[in-house]
Amino acid sequence: MRKLARIVIAILCFSVLCSVSANAEDLAGQVKKAVEKCTLDQSGTKPFHLKASYSPSLERDKDSNRIGEVEIWWQSPTKWRREVQSPEFHQIAIVDGDRQWQKNEGDYFPDWLRELAVAIVRPVPLPMDVLGKRVKTAEVRHLMGQTNVNWDSTTGFGDEQANGKGYLALMDNTGLLFYTGGPGFGGLYHDFKDFHGRMIAYTVASGYIEVTAKVSVLEDLGATPNGFFDANAPGGDARPIDTVVLDEAELRKNQIPGKPFEWPALTDGPLEGVVRTEVVLDRTGKIREMISPIADNPGVKDAAERGFRAMQFQPVLRNGVPVQATGRLSVPFKTVRPAGAETFNSAKVYFENGRKSSFLAAGATAPYLLLAEFQTGTEDGVQTGRYEDTWISATEWKREAWFDSGHLIKSQSGDKHYVVAEGKESGLLRLIMQLLEPIPAEDTMTESDWRIKRDDLDGMKTIRVFRGPEGPNGELEPGKSQGYWFDEGGHLVKCYMAGYEILPSAQEDYSGVSVPRSIDVLKDGNVDLHVIVKEIIPADPAAAKHFKLKGHEWQRAFTAEVR
Reported as a single tens digit per residue, the pLDDT across 111-145 is 999 999 999 999 999 999 999 999 999 988 887 78
Q: Are 373 and 317 within one domain?
A: no
Q: Are 393 and 357 within one domain?
A: yes
Average pLDDT, the chain: 92
Q: What band does 21 get if pLDDT is binned at 50, 70 and 90? A: very low
pLDDT of residue 3: 57
Q: Which long-range contacts (CB under 8 A, 24 or more apart) does 142-148 make?
A: 142/17, 142/19, 142/172, 143/16, 143/17, 143/558, 145/171, 145/172, 145/173, 146/170, 146/171, 146/172, 146/178, 147/22, 147/27, 147/30, 147/172, 148/558
Give the pLDDT confidence of 289-307 residue by residue, as tens digits: 999 999 988 889 999 999 9
In-domain check, residue 383: yes
CA 550 to chain centre: 32
What DSSP string describes 111-138? HHHHHHHHHHH-S--S-HHHHHHHHHTS
Q: Are 190 and 294 within one domain?
A: no
pLDDT of residue 22: 47
pLDDT of residue 7: 58
The total domain count for the chain is 3
Give the pLDDT confidence of 213-257 residue by residue, as tens digits: 999 999 999 999 999 999 999 999 999 999 999 999 999 999 999
In-domain check, residue 41: yes
Domain of 120, in residue numbers: 18-220
Q: Which of 279, 308, 334 is the last residue of a domain?
A: 334
In-domain check, residue 11: no
Q: What band does 4 get if pLDDT is binned at 50, 70 and 90? A: low
Q: Are 357 and 420 within one domain?
A: yes
H or E segment at 289?
strand 287-290
Q: Are 476 and 398 within one domain?
A: yes
Residue 159: give its domain's CATH number. Answer: 2.50.20
pLDDT of residue 447: 84
Q: Residue 19: is its pLDDT beyond 50?
A: no
pLDDT of residue 6: 57
CA separation for the pair 513, 353 (Å, rounded): 11
Average pLDDT over residues 331-338: 94
Pick the range with the lowest mean pLDDT from 248-252, 266-270, 399-403, 540-544.
266-270
Collapsing DSSP states into helix, strand and coil, what is residue 5? helix
